[in-house]
């Protein structure tokens, strides 16, 4: 599926601190009916028309104007997932082999989300395999401090990063479901619901241990440090979420920092690891990092929107799950800016269903949904700019992979599940 080429760009903000996340905007009346919100909390929030992008002018002079380039490679229709489908199959098969355990129940639990039909689209491995090809450009000097570790071949080592990343991701899902007392995941019963919390936690620990073994086999200290830091970030982000003060809970800056730790750190540091294994420069490695960081933030912001606008069937989990668990996300935070009285509802908590209805009513009157989408678009644009800033290449495979990475930035913000 190819998305609109006429996608407007948002300029970067040079602001710091909280203004890194919040930009001024023009007041604009939401066309969503509060009454409709009360009647059906799952109805799509719509009717906003052309986004105002918080009153900022469109970016016309930037090098990043990918949707208006005349290059044939840009106009070529492609599916990012199909470009690496063969490799994805290899990665999926190896993952299933890596999670085999001696204890049958542990093996069954560990492979629960790696089975055919439950494994999802493998979004993160797709990004990493595309990034591997996108960085297949001339390197100014040979890789340093790798010695004999260039065997097995570089591509196999980069595939290993995709496998490690997916194991860390699934482990975090298993642990999150226990903390959230979730009963569904990816449209099926969550592992904690099927096998109990203890087995789910142990299965997550087992996946992390297997990821560590695979990571050590790469024998690259910098890459090991990067992905070990990711695990630390996952724990930090989850702790931030369950131990917030009232002020932190209502802070967009705190929310975005937590979102980076919980969602974006894994993909950003994994993208950087792909570049480091290829012996790329610090500058190229940081561009890979920036792509992953901003793609991850955009992904989570759209998740926040879909929690209000999607349905349980489309999301594979209960909609309104965040607010029902007392988690305040971007749409509510933006709504709180317009309606400060909403803060009193948030501070009172959402154990009372009436408070959920009141928060949804304020959200329906606000531009919270639209502004969360706009913030996602801003980060998606930054991710695409990072790819456009990579060293130029005439290699068609490199260009195609970069186009696919840019295409993914649009798929992230236009997805409905």
What confidence tens digit (pLDDT) does each residue in 97-131 have? Answer: 888 887 778 888 877 777 655 556 789 999 999 99
- Determine the pLDDT at residue 404: 97
* Distance of alpha carbon 146 from alpha carbon 63, whole angstroms: 35
- Helix residue ranges, H only, 144-281: 154-180, 191-195, 197-217, 221-242, 246-249, 252-259, 265-277
- Determine the pLDDT at residue 314: 44
Residues of the chain with pLDDT under 50: 1-75, 142-152, 312-318
Q: What is the DSSP string of 353-379?
A: HHHHHHHHHHHHHSSHHHHHHHHHHHH
**pTM as predicted:** 0.76
- Determine the pLDDT at residue 76: 55
- Determine the pLDDT at residue 271: 98
* Distance of alpha carbon 166 from alpha carbon 113, whole angstroms: 10
- Determine the pLDDT at residue 264: 97
- Determine the pLDDT at residue 35: 40
| Residue with token string 């800016």 | 337
């Amino acid at each position: 599926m190819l998305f609109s080429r006429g996608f407007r760009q948002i300029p970067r903000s040079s602001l710091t601190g909280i203004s890194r996340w919040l930009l001024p905007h023009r007041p604009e009346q939401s066309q969503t009916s509060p009454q409709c919100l009360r009647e059906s909390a799952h109805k799509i929030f719509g009717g906003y028309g052309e986004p105002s992008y918080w009153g900022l002018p469109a970016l016309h002079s930037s090098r990043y104007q990918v949707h208006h380039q005349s290059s044939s490679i840009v106009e070529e229709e492609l599916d990012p997932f199909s470009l690496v489908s063969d490799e994805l199959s290899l990665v999926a098969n190896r993952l299933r082999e890596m999670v085999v355990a001696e204890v049958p129940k542990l093996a069954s639990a560990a492979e629960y989300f790696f089975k055919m039909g439950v494994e999802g689209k493998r979004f993160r491995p797709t990004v990493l395999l595309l990034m591997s090809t996108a960085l297949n450009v001339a390197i100014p000097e040979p890789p340093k401090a790798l010695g004999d570790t260039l065997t097995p071949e570089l591509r196999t080592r980069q595939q290993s990063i995709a496998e490690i990343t997916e194991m860390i991701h699934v482990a975090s899902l298993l642990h999150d479901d226990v903390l959230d007392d979730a009963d569904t995941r990816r449209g099926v019963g969550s592992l904690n619901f099927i096998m109990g919390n203890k087995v789910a936690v142990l299965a997550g620990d087992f996946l992390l241990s297997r990821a560590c073994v695979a990571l050590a086999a790469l024998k690259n200290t910098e890459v090991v440090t990067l992905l070990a830091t990711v695990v630390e970030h996952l724990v930090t982000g989850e702790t931030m979420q369950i131990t917030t003060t009232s002020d932190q809970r209502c802070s967009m800056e705190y929310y975005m920092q937590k979102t980076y730790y919980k969602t974006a750190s894994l993909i950003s540091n994994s993208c950087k690891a792909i570049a480091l294994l290829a012996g790329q420069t610090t500058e190229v490695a940081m561009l890979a990092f920036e792509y992953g960081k901003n793609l991850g933030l955009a992904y989570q912001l759209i998740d926040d929107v879909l929690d209000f606008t999607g349905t349980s069937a489309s999301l594979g989990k209960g909609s309104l799950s965040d607010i029902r668990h007392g988690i305040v996300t971007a749409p509510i935070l933006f709504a709180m800016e317009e309606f400060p009285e909403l803060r009193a509802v948030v501070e009172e908590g959402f154990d009372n269903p009436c408070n959920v209805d009141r928060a949804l009513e304020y959200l329906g009157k606000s531009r919270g949904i639209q502004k969360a989408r706009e913030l996602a678009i801003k980060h998606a644009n930054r991710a695409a700019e990072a790819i456009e800033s990579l060293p130029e290449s005439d290699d068609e495979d490199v260009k195609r992979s970069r186009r696919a990475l840019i295409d993914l930035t649009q798929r992230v913000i236009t997805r409905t599940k």
